[in-house]
Structure 1
Amino acid sequence: MLSPLSAAALSLLLLLQTHGAEGAALAAPTVTLDSAVFTGKAGSNTQSFLGIPFAKPPVGDLRLQLPQPVDKYTGSYTVTSFGDACPQQEIELPILTGVAQEVVDYVANSIFGLVFPAAEDCLTLNVIKPSTAKATSKLPVVVWIFGGGFELGSPAMYDGTTIVQRSIDLGEPVIYVSMNYRISAFGFLASKEIREAGVGNLGLQDQRQALRWIQQYIGAFGGDPTKVTIWGESAGAISVSLHMLANNGDNQGLFRGAFMESGSPIPVGPIENGQKYYDAIVQKTGCSGASDTLACLRTVPYDQFKAAQDASPGIFSYQSLVLAFLPREDGTFLTANPQALVQQGKVSNVPFVTGDCDDEGTLFSLSTLNVTSDADFTKYVSSVWIPQANSTQVANLVKLYSSDVTAGSPFDTGILDVLTPQFKRIAAFQGDGVFQAPRRFFQKALNGKQNQWAFLSKRLKALPFLGSAHFTDILNSYGTGELRDAVINFSNNLDPNGHTVPNWPKWSVANPNMMTFLDGLFPTQISQDTYRKDAMEAITQITLQFPI
């Protein structure tokens, strides 16, 4: 019999890596864009058009430049396989022993270890539609933005046919779109030089260009450009939230709803906060002596530039979620720190769904196992997370995140899952700091302004040390779960409720209802978004003052 860990790993692998070869004998579908014919592939009741270029290749002089729209399409294209992923940052996982190593192997095999062909010429997107959809169908469009810490990932990880097929079964057909976007140093290099050149947040700009492409071309596939929902997980969900803030909340008619899994406007500061990582890449690529270091970086051979990127701290380095490459205020796409924009009300007035996994921080705390004492934890918080804070502020935060292992994450597991004396404490702190507290802050700030729903996933608590970890909700949204149906309902009706989804009340400050997904006989319940109130308020206030 498979252990809970092995069973979950197998489920994720099957889910993420299965792209059906169904319907190979069916006639190949075509669609005309401008004067070009695109030939895709047919499934039993879906048609897929994969690897369509939506922007000019960001290579040569276009490296580290804003995405450029493609010229009008001409000729013919065969679009039956995903395009290359954008350059990935090399990931080094921690080396452990025993069951803990099995956890790391699970992470490597089912989440961060998937390898995709990658190249700089990567700005492609994918459209999956019902076979019956015509240019006059005007179907809602759901746009998926993948996660991966802004360091890695690809649309090829996710089988969008499952979403379209389920939408057909529900009688609520949708068009599914996913896109590549530049990540790590290729997409989120940050410095004063980047600000001066106006080329910050290129990964978000790529996503925005894909949304503009959808406005222009999705009608040919049977989609309605006025009925677009943007949906993402982790970095993808953070991206969704930042599109709600871009251009001071003007979404330019690019979407009408947002669905976020494990991601909200995060506490990040000005683009200059990434200067040290920019300077390190400049030094490693030999551009230090150039009068224009940014221009020099555009001439560096790809392998050399990528090697310099890979030498930067990754998501499993000691600093973990204090990522080297993040969206930051650049004065153009984001005119202020994201949470300041939320406070100013500069948010797109669209309905949204947002939620987290219960144990968001466990996965990212495997790299801090050398933090084993109260003093170590205090030093970690003060030196890595809030180096500008005074000792009183640090002491207050440390007190609120207790060393009592029964209060740590995985939550509600008592004395179990104590990988080190401080592991559950760090996991609770990181999960709240990056995911739970920013989500609650976002929802409270928008109370009464637009319809909103919240969820909390407490499934897979049996995963050793990880519990209901970051990414585990993907089984719910791309598997056979309630979130998948909720996304489809929301795309059609701007409401996650439907006949296959248990009653899901809206979230408000007065009634902070959360759809809670559980293991066991009763898979859902409505709970209240009031847990760890004092700790989350404290972490919100201090990160507002000292953003990353």
Structure 2
Amino acid sequence: MKASLLVIAGLALSVFGRRPIVCGEDAGVCQAVYRGLRNDKLKIEKYVGIPYAQPPVGKLRLQPPKPLAHMAAPPTVDASKPTSKQCYSLANLNSATASEDCLTLDLVMPVGTFDHLLPVYVFLHGGDFNGGDKSDVDGSELVSYAASINQPFIFISVNYRLSFLGFPGGSEAGKSNAYNLGLKDQRLALQWVKDNIKGFGGNKDHVVLGGQASGADTATYQMLANGGNNEYLFRGMLLESGAATGATPIPLPTYPHWQMNYDSLASKTNCSSASSFSCLQNVPIEKLTSAMYAVFTEAYSIPHHVYAVVSDGVFMQDYPSVAMAQSKFASLPTLTGQTTDELTDRIPTFANFTTDEGILGFAQVFLNYVDPAVLAEEVGMYKSSDYQDIGPPGSGTQWSRVVDIDNDLQAFCPVYQAALQISEKAAVWKYRFNARHSTSTTPAYLKINQGSDLPFLFGPTPLNPTTQEDILAESYKRYIISFINHLDPNKAVNSTMAPLSQWDNFRNSSQNQLLFDLAQINMEYDPVNRERCLWVEEHHKDFLR
């Protein structure tokens, strides 16, 4: 059938051609009329900045998101602009490009006639809860390619509130039901998809949820939410470089630094009173965001140690590491993996790491809630003699050792452990991506760092790609597209360029994963250091805040 579209011809645009018009449905009733853009070259339609919640301004600032109000006459939403406002964050305080009214999503769909409702992939951007935007990843090329191989789907990327506006701490936030607002934004966006996607030709019962880096972390928090009740909002997980414990373990609301940061922000905005939270809801946004940034800089920490997710006992009912160990998560088919070197760009290159004492001093600054004896035990598992001076000038002879420690604690071991835990309840496919794109401008010493896989999946397509790049990109895309369509990466991978390997399930008994490399694409035994990962798992409670 035609994918439920009301397309009006003749509305010419200089770049994209005709503007399609779609009626978003809820229970068969038109809720809004959306004007988008058509890209005739890619054969896609794109809708930018679709609101999925009421603007979180005024009395709705620092409150859980409210669904859009039903109106007697469906409003017309202009989603045909190339960009929309980002959410305020530590990375963007500019009112010209950021706004409180930012709870929007972008939707990309193929042009065509289809005999079924299309699968939907909802993507959550990264940024350590303090940066990023839905526009960081554009699904246009992937959607276009998927349709060209008869595996069409709809791509949606979501904005959610960030920094203090999305993740306020302190007891006052708890009393006002304001913890984890960014996660609740994501949840409402998923509900919007369920209620409206049929109007775009999408299947509300076939939604794959995913993300990259901390976006993948937040996707797994949605798996854990409400004790593992996903409310039938999604039925598969696609996790790139993230896991439930992928960031430094999230704290309880009683973590002392949360209150210190809140009190400092209230002071800087002249809201230090019994009604401080109400005051913060009404203070001019420029004053609030300025104070938000000042609190971060004075904390001398990394962003997600200042504004982040908390284990609030309601939405997040326990520490993620505890909930995962107790299997309190939605058991769904999961495709998960990471790059070979992941977090190399997170370790400073000016610290001159040369001794155990220097490494411990650095760790204690950013992990000041962990017993120094535990940190010393961890550092001791990484022999200094095993590491060469491969970092940039000034980084120190032991820089690569610090990278290894951080990767095991916050990337490799969390993803490995999550794959084991999920595989006890659902099918899991795991991968390692080991290639740099020819368009990459990152320094060579960062190697295959986090995000190296994204250009192969989403583009941009290089002007003069090598044959190896073409083969790798097509193969990677076909596996991912197959998972989005069939919840199995092996169902639609017939390649025109090279035969593709059978991607075996990751299991406790075998622990095999697919290696994506310019030279080869084949199964390998997961090379993660199991002794270190066992230590991380056994000591996870030592890192709880």
* TM-score, reference length from structure 1: 0.84
**Aligned mates of 1:434, 1:115 — CA distance in 2:** 33
In the alignment, structure 1 segments of 5+ residues that lack a partner are 1-20, 93-113, 408-413
Query: Which residue matches 2:80?
Result: 80
Query: Which residue matches 1:416?
Result: 390
Which of 524, 533, 539 is 1:527 aligned to?
524
Give per-residue Cα distances to partners, 1:144-179, cap 9 Å, x unaligned: 111111111112222211121011012110011111
SS state at 1:72 partner: coil
**Aligned mates of 1:319, 1:442 — CA distance in 2:** 27
Structure 1 range deviating more: 357-366 or 58-67: 357-366
Is the 2:131–2:162 contact (alpha carbons within 8 Å) kept by the matching residues of 1?
Answer: yes
SS state at 2:343 partner: coil
- What amino acid is aligned across from residue 233 of structure 1 in structure 2? Q
Give per-residue Cα distances to partners, 1:66-108, cap 9 Å, x unaligned: 000011252322211232110121489xxxxxxxxxxxxxxxx
Which of 141, 162, 169 is 2:141 aligned to?
162
Q: CA deviation at 1:283?
A: 2.0
Q: How does 1:104-503 map to 2 (within 5 A)?
A: 117-132=97-112, 137-266=116-245, 267-273=249-255, 274-288=258-272, 290-313=273-296, 319-320=301-302, 323-366=305-348, 369=351, 371-385=353-367, 387-389=369-371, 391=373, 393-404=374-385, 406-407=386-387, 415-417=389-391, 419-460=395-436, 463-479=443-459, 480-497=473-490, 498-500=493-495, 501-503=500-502
**Aligned mates of 1:518, 1:210 — CA distance in 2:** 35
Q: CA deviation at 1:35?
A: 5.1
Which of 535, 540, 543 is 1:538 aligned to?
535
Query: Which residue matches 1:43?
Result: 39
**CA, structure 1 residues 35+473, in 2 after alignment: closer, same or farther (shift >3 Å)?**
closer
Q: CA deviation at 1:370?
A: 5.2
**Aligned mates of 1:478, 1:318 — CA distance in 2:** 35
Q: How does 1:81-96 map to 2 (within 5 A)?
A: 81=81, 82-90=83-91
Q: CA deviation at 1:478?
A: 1.1
* TM-score, reference length from structure 2: 0.85
Query: Which residue matches 1:504?
Result: 503
In the alignment, structure 2 segments of 5+ residues that lack a partner are 1-11, 25-29, 460-472
Query: Which residue matches 1:110?
Result: none
Q: CA deviation at 1:211?
A: 0.2
Q: CA deviation at 1:127?
A: 1.4
Query: Which residue matches 1:29?
Result: 20
Q: CA deviation at 1:383?
A: 4.3
- What amino acid is aligned across from residue 212 of structure 1 in structure 2? Q
- What amino acid is aligned across from residue 32 of structure 1 in structure 2? C
Query: Which residue matches 2:3?
Result: none
**Aligned mates of 1:76, 1:149 — CA distance in 2:** 34
Structure 1 range deviating more: 483-492 or 503-512: 483-492
**CA, structure 1 residues 91+199, in 2 after alignment: closer, same or farther (shift >3 Å)?**
closer
**CA, structure 1 residues 523+475, in 2 after alignment: closer, same or farther (shift >3 Å)?**
farther
**Aligned mates of 1:22, 1:485 — CA distance in 2:** 32
**Aligned mates of 2:365, 2:78 — CA distance in 1:** 52
SS state at 1:446 partner: helix
Query: Which residue matches 2:467?
Result: none
Query: Which residue matches 2:66?
Result: 68
**CA, structure 1 residues 322+212, in 2 after alignment: closer, same or farther (shift >3 Å)?**
closer
Is the 2:123–2:156 contact (alpha carbons within 8 Å) kept by the matching residues of 1?
Answer: yes
Is the 2:135–2:157 contact (alpha carbons within 8 Å) kept by the matching residues of 1?
Answer: no
Q: CA deviation at 1:510?
A: 0.9
Is the 1:321–1:430 contact (alpha carbons within 8 Å) kept by the matching residues of 2?
Answer: no
**Aligned mates of 2:275, 2:321 — CA distance in 1:** 32
Is the 1:85–1:116 contact (alpha carbons within 8 Å) kept by the matching residues of 2?
Answer: no
Is the 1:140–1:227 contact (alpha carbons within 8 Å) kept by the matching residues of 2?
Answer: yes
**CA, structure 1 residues 385+542, in 2 after alignment: closer, same or farther (shift >3 Å)?**
farther
In the alignment of these two chains, the number of paired residues is 494
**Aligned mates of 1:35, 1:240 — CA distance in 2:** 27
**CA, structure 1 residues 368+120, in 2 after alignment: closer, same or farther (shift >3 Å)?**
farther
Query: Which residue matches 2:9?
Result: none
Q: CA deviation at 1:252?
A: 0.1
**CA, structure 1 residues 344+474, in 2 after alignment: closer, same or farther (shift >3 Å)?**
same
**CA, structure 1 residues 158+299, in 2 after alignment: closer, same or farther (shift >3 Å)?**
same
**Aligned mates of 2:254, 2:113 — CA distance in 1:** 47
**CA, structure 1 residues 369+485, in 2 after alignment: closer, same or farther (shift >3 Å)?**
farther
- What amino acid is aligned across from residue 313 of structure 1 in structure 2? F
Structure 1 range deviating more: 460-469 or 170-179: 460-469
**CA, structure 1 residues 334+88, in 2 after alignment: closer, same or farther (shift >3 Å)?**
same
Is the 2:338–2:432 contact (alpha carbons within 8 Å) kept by the matching residues of 1?
Answer: yes
Give per-residue Cα distances to partners, 1:35-70, cap 9 Å, x unaligned: 532211111211111111110111111111000001
SS state at 1:417 partner: coil
Is the 2:205–2:234 contact (alpha carbons within 8 Å) kept by the matching residues of 1?
Answer: yes
